[in-house]
Amino acid sequence: MSSEHSPLSPEETGRIGSALHEVRERIAAAAQAAGRSAEAVTLVAVSKFHPQEAVIAALDAGQRVFGENRVQEAAAKFPPLRERWPDLRLHLIGGLQTNKAAEAVRIADMIESLDRPSLSDAIAKAAEKAGRVPDLLIEVNTGDEAQKAGVCRAEADGFIRDCRARFGAALKGLMCIPPADGNPAPHFSYLRTLADRHGLPVCSMGMSADYPAAIMAGADYVRVGTAIFGQRS
């Protein structure tokens, strides 16, 4: 994939490094305000639609956890980087088609968008064949929005129990994307309460516009793209 793009200019490389530093500072401040350690919050740098060179600039600046929406894009971008950065972690955060489950299981360290029984079946089948299961988060549609992925609130408890029985310790927690309009804080609070009720340690919630509020509510992962990489060119 890198051959399709020109190397980043020194200015752009420096901008990504500076943006990462600024986001980390904001995460630390939000964590401190919440009475939490900055180390308790993991930054997932969302590099979707940005070239491999932008990922390399972030890696050079010390970032190690990245989020991608599309399996095909992630498969082109990330496996070649693991030799140089073996501690790199790839999270798949977008809606996942069942026919992409095998590739997702092969390349991802975590799949954050497990949201329906058919996908659970596909991941389980792929994991058995591959001899590995990535860490998993269940995506919860906290606003019960018809156009959005995620298990609805009414079915969340049952689906969590089913996935816990099937995947055991590989099921790490929950993820949500609150409605674009309105206050995200109640959605973050709901997700944290739901995770705690099931004894799940991880909540992935909060993006560029609202991650300080998510940290206040107990986010373990925040997914930040635009604030680091800028708008997609």
Per-residue pLDDT of the chain (233 residues; tens, 9 = 90+): 433 456 889 998 999 999 999 999 999 999 999 999 999 999 999 999 999 999 999 999 999 999 999 999 999 999 999 999 999 999 999 999 999 999 999 999 999 999 999 999 999 999 999 999 999 999 999 999 999 999 999 999 999 999 999 999 999 999 999 999 999 999 999 999 999 999 999 999 999 999 999 999 999 999 999 999 998 76
User: In CATH terms, is domain 2-229 a member of 3.30.365.10?
Assistant: no
pTM of the model: 0.95
Phi, psi of 212, rounded to the nearest 5 degrees: -60, -40
The runs of H, that is alpha helices, within the chain are 10-33, 52-60, 71-77, 101-107, 117-130, 153-167, 185-197, 211-217, 226-229
Domain regions of the chain by residue span: 2-229
